Chains A and B, each alone.
Chain A
Amino acid sequence: MNRGFRSAFRYQVTDLLKNATIFFAVMVAIVAALIIGALSIRSSGNIEIHSSFNGLGLASAICQFVFGISVSRSNLRLCTQLGVSRRSAFFSLLLSGLAVSVILAVAGEALIGSLQLISFAHGRLTLSDLYQMIYAGASSEALSFTQHLNSVLMITCLLLCCFSFGVFFTLLFWRLNKALRIVVAIAIPLAINGVPVLLYRLGINLKPLFIWLSSSVYHLDLFFLLLTLVFIAIEWLLLRHTNIKAPAFA
């Protein structure tokens, strides 16, 4: 690992961690508010009030997608200004994205795991996350150590995939001219919503894929990693010859 790569990684991971810390603090505040609310509201009569929270993994995924969109261009510009090759800048960005994905996944698992101890004792509050909902059952008791590890691995793969998807978006829009940007901005949501319908109309059933993905967490990990690799490959092709310049409004 050369000096340029190390410096770029240090800068980018610090930058991403700062943003991730703010996001996580907000999520902790939301969960804390939910717990306080659930513990303070009394059930009245026959109506049993029950609260649940299981969106931390998904929220983290959206957050990583946004980070991928928002930080990549400015970090690549800065690295170019400071004598780091675009290859080192790009791969250090991805490594930073991976590091932050791991940290967010571990922190999220620790938060949900520890709060589950409170929720189990209380009974009117259910806290879980994606892995538990898909592979262990939302109503299951506390996860085993291996299940926690699998959950961390799954969320890490998901977050990395979302991060690289965000980077893909921003690099794609960087390369395109104004007219093509509009076309792509319309085409992507159309494709996301239209392709499944089209496949259904063509008689191509995606159900076996979903059954395969839900049959083992490792299948889902592999799926996210393959998607990530596809995004990375396209991103590198997009970035290789990009003219690195300041934003138009600067």
Chain B
Amino acid sequence: MSIEIKDLTKVYGDTVALDHVFLTFGGDQIYGLLGNNGAGKTTLLSIIADRQSATEGTVSVDGEPVRNNDSALSRVFMVGEQNLFPDSMKVRKGFDTAQLFYPGFDRAYAEAAAQKFGLNTKKKITSLSTGYASIFRLILGLSVNTPYVIFDEPVLGLDAQHRDMFYRMLMERYGAHPATVVLSTHLIAEVAGLIGHTVIIRAGRIIKDAPTETLTAEAYSVSGPAGKVDEYLVGKNVLSVSTLGGLKTASVQGQPEGGLPDGLELSPLNLQDYFISLMEEEDNQ
């Protein structure tokens, strides 16, 4: 029971947006899809939801190809950055329509969530502010109860309080109705505690696909006076280095070995630091 992506390639003119991508999303886990701007995240998610067609390769949901397949597509709900609802539709009508298409749509939950967020259900969807338009789509994503839910930049335009509310509600929902959730976001630090599995995409290629714990355990951070850090780093696989005054911080691939010189401090790498280090390493290559 999974979304299987095999050898997926998407080419726009002379730009390769996705380059032979192989991925699996499943097992009722929360996935983080991370990547820089233009890495191919939205293209990948749009192909999964059959909003775009692939140049090569296949996407299947529970063994069925998604292309022109209602049965496969009905099991995936994508909360995208864009509003695909008609201009004249009001929020309440949007809920009615979602209910018509998804028998498992939890209307009571959607209404309660709208109230919690302060979303006016009598307003037209297109007249909502960026933040509330995102909230409307988030509520749909939390209420549809499909086995696969994809959130592409879900918290776009949301203030800190609403972002926190969304993360809490997502975890509550996930606890009550486990599903495979894919979160694509730039706010890595905020979602790091939610995602069990991380996929990192860069220039259309998947460069990491592993449990989040495994990824962050692959590297550590060392900081201290610049000279001592430089000495320590000799012979080590350094992912990234930053200097502030006389202090230097470096991210190092692998596990700390041997004794730690006085004045240096080791710390585990969090997901955001790991991501930045990895991107810097890729930039250097």
Binds A, one of B23-31, B93-101, B272-280: B93-101
Tell me what chain A mostly uses at the interface: helix, strand, loop, or mixed: helix
> Quick one: closest B residue to A88, CB to CB?
B70
Q: Quick one: which of B67, B75, B100 contacts A7, CB cutoff 8 A?
A: B100
Complex: how many Å from CA A82 to CA B97?
Answer: 9
Instruction: Please determine whether A86 and B50 come into contact, CB atoms closer than 8 angstroms.
Output: yes
A87–B146 alpha-carbon span in the complex (Å):
21
B52 and A244: CB pair below 8 A?
A: yes
Partner of B102, one of A5, A82, A87: A82
A83 to B74, CA, bound (A): 5
Q: How far is the CB of B276 from chain A (nearest CB, A)?
A: 30
A246 neighbours in B (Cβ, 8 Å): 82-84
Contact B100 A11 (CB under 8 A): yes
Least CB separation from A77: chain B residue: B84
Assembly CA distance A92 to B78 (angstroms): 22
Nearest A residue to B52, CB-CB: A243
CA distance A88 to B87 in the complex (A): 22
Q: Which of A7, A11, A240 has the most CB of B within 10 A?
A: A7
The answer to whether B84 touches A84, judged by C-beta atoms less than 8 angstroms apart, is no
Main secondary structure of the interface of B (DSSP, over half): loop
Is B255 close to A, CB under 8 A?
A: no
Q: For A84, list chain B residues within 8 Å (CB).
A: 70, 73-74, 101
Q: How large is the interface on B (under 10, 10 to 19, 20 to 34, 35 or more residues)?
A: 20 to 34
A83 and B73 form a contact (CB under 8 A): yes
B59-95 interface bits toward A, Cβ cutoff 8 Å, 1 = contact, 0 = none = 0000000011111011111101011111100000000
User: Please, which residues of chain B bring their CB within 8 A of the CB of A247?
Assistant: 87
Task: Decide if B101 touches A7 in the complex (CB within 8 Å).
Answer: yes
Closest to B125 in A: A250
Instruction: Say if the beta carbon of A85 comes within 8 Å of chain B.
Output: yes
Q: Could you tell me if A82 and B98 are in contact, using CB atoms closer than 8 angstroms?
A: yes
Contact yes or no, A83 B51, CB < 8 A: no
A80 at the interface (CB under 8 A from B): yes
Q: Contact between A244 and B84 (Cβ–Cβ < 8 Å)?
A: yes
Evaluate contact between B101 and A82: CB separation under 8 angstroms.
yes
Does B146 contact A85, Cβ atoms closer than 8 Å? Answer: no
- The answer to whether the Cβ of A44 comes within 8 Å of any Cβ in the partner chain is no
Q: Tell me, yes or no, whether A81 is within 8 Å of chain B by CB.
A: yes
Interface positions, chain B 93-127, Cβ under 8 Å from A, are 97-98, 100-103, 126
Shortest beta-carbon distance from A112 to chain B in Å: 32
Which residues of chain A from 65 to 116 have any CB-CB distance to chain B below 8 Å in the complex?
74-75, 77-78, 80-88
Q: Does A178 contact B (CB under 8 A)?
A: no
* Least distance between B102 CB and chain A CB atoms (Å): 7
A146 within 8 Å of B (CB atoms):
no
Is A10 located at the chain interface by the 8 A CB criterion?
A: yes
A240 CB, min distance to chain B CBs, angstroms: 7
List, in ascending order, chain B residues with CB within 8 A of A240's CB: 53
The answer to whether B183 has its CB under 8 Å from any CB of chain A is no
- Nearest CB of chain B from residue A99's CB, rounded to whole Å: 17
Q: Which of B51, B75, B83, B101 contacts A244 (CB 8 A)?
A: B51
- CB neighbours (8 Å) of A74 from chain B are 86-87
CB pair A5–B70 under 8 Å, yes or no, is yes
Bound together, the chains give a CA A11 to CA B98 distance in angstroms of 10
B194 vs chain A, min Cβ distance (A) = 24
Contacts of B271 in A (CB 8 A): none
Q: Does A2 contact B (CB under 8 A)?
A: yes
The answer on a CB contact under 8 Å between B73 and A4 is yes
Kindly state the separation between the CA atoms of A8 and B74 in the bound complex, as whole angstroms. Answer: 12
Q: Which residue of A lies closest to B76 (CB)?
A: A83
- With A and B bound together, what is the CA distance between A206 and B82 in angstroms? 49
- Of A75, A87, A241, A250, the most chain B CB neighbours within 10 A belong to A250
Q: How near does chain A come to B105, taking the closest CB pair, in angstroms? A: 10
Interface string of B37-49 (1 = CB under 8 A from A): 0000000001001
Q: Report the minimum CB–CB distance from B70 to chain A (whole Å).
A: 3
B69 touches A81 (CB 8 A): no
Cβ–Cβ contact B97 & A245, under 8 A: no
Interfacial residues, chain B to chain A (CB-CB below 8 A): 46, 49-53, 67-71, 73-78, 80, 82-87, 97-98, 100-103, 126, 146
**Nearest 8 CB-CB pairings of A with B:** A4-B70, A246-B82, A81-B84, A82-B101, A77-B84, A74-B86, A83-B74, A87-B68
**What would 29 A/B residue contacts be, using CB atoms closer than 8 Å?**
A3-B74, A3-B103, A4-B73, A7-B100, A8-B101, A11-B101, A74-B87, A77-B86, A80-B49, A80-B50, A80-B51, A81-B78, A81-B84, A82-B97, A82-B102, A83-B70, A83-B73, A83-B74, A83-B76, A83-B77, A84-B70, A84-B73, A85-B68, A85-B70, A240-B53, A243-B51, A243-B52, A245-B51, A250-B82
Residues on A facing B (Cβ under 8 Å): 2-5, 7-8, 10-11, 74-75, 77-78, 80-88, 240-241, 243-247, 250
